[in-house]
Amino acid sequence: MIDSATCLILPQSEPGAQLRKILEASGQSFGTTKPIFEVNKNHKLLKKLTDLKGKQFNSFVDFLYDYALIAEGGSPKDPAKYLRQLDKYLS
């Protein structure tokens, strides 16, 4: 992971996000899978974490998790919240 700030890794035995969506659309169900949230400590977004404390830190980590989820083809649990956070961090 060089260019990305974060990514979600699934265990090798689990289908990827896109395949999971296809299989679920065909009626197959899966148990819950907990992906591994990996961070690139050298990325400039992660360097912002050192300046944050408490709720700001937690909010930014939640934002980065949703960022990784979108990059993997998923959707944030609360898209409106994600967009508010995106607006906040871009301004």
What would the mean pLDDT of 1-8 be, rounded to a whole number?
Answer: 84
What would the mean pLDDT of 55-73 be, rounded to a whole number?
Answer: 91
Lowest-pLDDT choice from 16-25, 47-56, 74-83 = 16-25
First-residue to last-residue Cα distance in the chain:
27
**Which is nearest to 75 in space by CA: 11, 18, 19?**
18
Structure confidence at residue 2 (pLDDT): 76
Q: How many CA atoms lie within 13 A of 34 on its CB side?
A: 0
Q: Which domains does the chain have, with CATH numbers?
A: 6-90 (1.20.120.790)
Q: Which helix (H) or strand (E) holds 8?
A: strand 6-9
* pTM given for the model: 0.75
Structure confidence at residue 1 (pLDDT): 66
